[in-house]
Structure 1
Amino acid sequence: MKPLLHLRFIHDPFGDPGLYVGVLWERRAFLFDLGDLSPLSPRALLKVSDIFVSHTHMDHFIGFDQILRLRLHRPQTLRVYGPPGLVQNVAGKLSGYTWDRVDEYPLVLEVYEYGESGQSGARFPCFRRFQREDLPDLGLPPGVLLREDWARVRAVELDHGTTVLAFSLEESTHFNIDKDRLRRQGIPVGPWLGELKNQLRCGAPGGKLFRVCWQEGNTPREQERTLEEWCRDLVRLCAGQKIVYVTDIGFTPTNQQKVVDLAAGADLFYCEAQFLYENRDEACKRGHLTARQAGLLARQAQVKKLILFHFSPRYRGREEEILNEAREAFGGLALIPAGLSAGTELSGE
């Protein structure tokens, strides 16, 4: 099965944190954290529709200006999600520039901040010189930042001395077409398959009729069945991926429990490992995790794969020690991302 999401970590584990998630069939992408974006090509950045910011320390937020500049002339809305205070942080960024020549620029920023007390948001239209307009509540369940037919993004509020968010991107069930069965029934592939999948994702009633029309030479053909019948005859169900991103947290009991609950059963668990366990006292003081602690969280959450990032530069040349420390605590597969070279064009997008 071809994966629907294309994931690339932007930097190696010593660089700014940042995960790029391409949504292949929609020609769009998500960003988790907004550090240095220079390894991403303009083409890749122009696909970004939603950005999830853990917190606004500089190494997680310095890329805001870069993507803003690139998107000014573009008509799409860019949505940014983060912890309490994000709206004010974005407003502060915008107020640092003079906007006297943007009256015809179509970009709109929508900024949403989430905390345990609830969610709020504001809109910043470029053509109004980014004057703030408050947005109504999205009406989503607690902890849900984004919900679409194919996936949702959840967040939990964690402690780093300041509030940070950890995120879980959770795909809905995949509807995979059995092409052999389709061929045996003499029905050609076509755009109708996408529409059928959309109907199934949206939860349309199983008794709803769905008609397929095609040409066989000069002869028009059609078949009509209920959605339930199409699903039974042609569709194989497959669980979607769960991808969790956690960075800049202390190893406190509250943080541990929240992360384990959020990451439970994740396919991919991206987790910071700023320090080795030998420097655990400094990790505690600075509100970061050791590699061993990252491995313990992965083990407790029973994730399938652990990807480590956000290493202190003091450990250059000691990457294998970090990896081995995490693997020993996890007891499973742990990896380090390679990162992208400057201006990388991401394949499959």
Structure 2
Amino acid sequence: MRPSYYPRLINNPFDDPGIIVPFSFENRSMLFDIGDITSLSARDILKISHVFISHTHMDHFAGFDRLLRLFLGRDKEIFLYGPPGFIKNVEGKLAAYSWNLVKNYQNRFSLNVAEVHPASLVSRRYYCHKSFKPDKAVIHQYFNNIILHEPELSVSAVSLDHGIPCLGFSLKERFHVNIQKNRIEELNLKPGIWINRFKQAIYNNDDLNSDFEIIQAGEGKNRKFNLGKLAEQIALITPGQKITYITDAAYTISNIKKIICLAKDSDFLFIEAAFLDKDKDTAFNKLHLTARQAGTLAGQANVKKFIIFHFSPRYSGMEEQIYMEAVNAYELVKKENNIQA
């Protein structure tokens, strides 16, 4: 069964952190942190709909300019989320350029920028053709960890301590609609854009007794099916994927609890491992995790797979040692949990 998302690191573990999450069945992807993104093609970047920024240290935010440049003059709205002060950071970026010619653009590119506060989202919109001057309206929305909610997915955020607020994120698919190709063929149907409409109808909880119309190219007529019966015939519903992204967090009691709760039962946990455990005092002073701490958290959160990144350059050529330390810690926790069970 083909998964909905294929998350991957943008760079190697020693370079700027960040992951991209392409959507298998849509011309779309999401980005978590935006440091150096030169490894991403323009085609990759132009699929991005949402960008989630943990914090605005340069290695997590320097790629904003490349993203902005590629989207200029396009009909697109990009949603960006960051910690308190993020709106001011984005406005500072936008103020660095002259925008006297953008009024001539025919397309309507805009940025929707949101700050994640402890109990609210504060957002503003910026239109390219208005020289990126912000809308007068500042929108305040109450939220409880979930910062994005769509019919098929949600994104949650928690604030971690890195000396400044640093956001951890978790992308959760509600459930996965697997289309069984052999069943489609049995109904003399062909794959097409109707499959995406069908999935959206399921995600939207449409009335299962309603008609679902399928347009088959070249047939000259449409076919109608009962939505519920069609779902029984061609769809297999399975649990959705969960992807969690954690970077730049001190190993404190508060952070530990938040990370474990956010990452619980993730299919993929991307988690920083900046230092080896022999340098844990340095890691603590610099408000980062060690490889052993990353593996321990992954085990305690019962994740299926974890990927470490954001290695300190002092460990160049020592990648295998970092990986082994994290894996050993993960396996130790899993073993202890199995013994207790």
What's the TM-score, normalizing by structure 1? 0.89
Q: 2:6 is paired with a residue of what secondary structure?
A: strand
- Kindly provide the amino acid, as one letter, of the partner of residue 168 in structure 1: S
Match of 2:168 in 1: 166
* Per-residue Cα deviation, 1:189-225 (whole angstroms, up to 9, x for no partner): 443333222111111122223244659978x674532
Match of 1:34 in 2: 34
Match of 1:285 in 2: 285
* Per-residue Cα deviation, 1:71-121 (whole angstroms, up to 9, x for no partner): 112120111111110001011111122222221333211100102131101
Structure-2 separation of matches of 1:49 and 1:221: 32
Match of 2:94 in 1: 94
CA drift at 1:266: 0.1
Structure-1 separation of matches of 2:161 and 2:210: 48
Structure-2 separation of matches of 1:211 and 1:108: 34
- Kindly provide the amino acid, as one letter, of the partner of residue 260 in structure 1: I
Match of 2:24 in 1: 24
- Kindly provide the amino acid, as one letter, of the partner of residue 100 in structure 1: N
* Per-residue Cα deviation, 1:6-55 (whole angstroms, up to 9, x for no partner): 32311110000011111232212111101011111112111111110000
Structure-1 separation of matches of 2:9 and 2:232: 38
Structure-2 separation of matches of 1:40 and 1:221: 41
Q: Which moved more, 1:106-115 or 1:283-292?
A: 106-115
Match of 2:229 in 1: 229
CA distance 1:157–1:188, change in 2 (3 Å): same
Structure-1 separation of matches of 2:71 and 2:150: 23
Match of 2:239 in 1: 239
Match of 1:302 in 2: 302
Q: 1:100 is paired with a residue of what secondary structure?
A: coil
Structure-1 separation of matches of 2:84 and 2:114: 9
Residue from 202, 205, 208 that aligns with 1:206: 208
Contact 2:120–2:143, Cα closer than 8 Å, also in 1: no
CA distance 1:14–1:221, change in 2 (3 Å): closer
Q: CA RMSD in A?
A: 2.1
Structure-2 separation of matches of 1:89 and 1:216: 52
CA distance 1:138–1:104, change in 2 (3 Å): farther
Q: 1:269 is paired with a residue of what secondary structure?
A: strand
CA distance 1:94–1:294, change in 2 (3 Å): same
Match of 2:253 in 1: 253
Contact 1:272–1:308, Cα closer than 8 Å, also in 2: yes
Match of 1:145 in 2: 147
CA distance 1:201–1:92, change in 2 (3 Å): same
Q: Does residue 1:68 correspond to 2:75, yes or no?
A: no
Structure-2 separation of matches of 1:37 and 1:216: 43
Q: 1:108 is paired with a residue of what secondary structure?
A: strand
Q: 2:102 is paired with a residue of what secondary structure?
A: coil
- Kindly provide the amino acid, as one letter, of the partner of residue 329 in structure 2: A
Match of 2:134 in 1: 132
CA distance 1:238–1:89, change in 2 (3 Å): same
Q: 2:251 is paired with a residue of what secondary structure?
A: coil
CA drift at 1:291: 0.4
CA distance 1:87–1:217, change in 2 (3 Å): closer
Count of equivalent residues = 331
Contact 1:215–1:221, Cα closer than 8 Å, also in 2: no
* Per-residue Cα deviation, 1:298-343 (whole angstroms, up to 9, x for no partner): 011000011000000000111111111111110189xxxxxxxxxx
Residue from 180, 191, 202 that aligns with 1:178: 180
Q: 2:66 is paired with a residue of what secondary structure?
A: helix
- Kindly provide the amino acid, as one letter, of the partner of residue 180 in structure 2: D
In structure 1, runs of 5+ residues without a counterpart are 334-349
* Per-residue Cα deviation, 1:228-267 (whole angstroms, up to 9, x for no partner): 2222222111112100000000001110101101000000
Structure-2 separation of matches of 1:196 and 1:301: 34
CA distance 1:221–1:164, change in 2 (3 Å): closer
Match of 2:330 in 1: 330
Q: 1:24 is paired with a residue of what secondary structure?
A: coil
Q: 2:122 is paired with a residue of what secondary structure?
A: strand
Match of 1:343 in 2: none
In structure 2, runs of 5+ residues without a counterpart are 334-341
Match of 1:338 in 2: none
* Per-residue Cα deviation, 1:259-299 (whole angstroms, up to 9, x for no partner): 10100000000000000000000111110000010011101
Q: 2:157 is paired with a residue of what secondary structure?
A: strand
Structure-2 separation of matches of 1:186 and 1:100: 56
- Kindly provide the amino acid, as one letter, of the partner of residue 246 in structure 2: V
Structure-2 separation of matches of 1:174 and 1:122: 33
Contact 1:120–1:135, Cα closer than 8 Å, also in 2: no
Q: Which moved more, 1:208-217 or 1:147-156?
A: 208-217
Match of 2:337 in 1: none
What's the TM-score, normalizing by structure 2? 0.91
Q: 2:292 is paired with a residue of what secondary structure?
A: helix
Match of 1:14 in 2: 14
Contact 1:121–1:134, Cα closer than 8 Å, also in 2: no
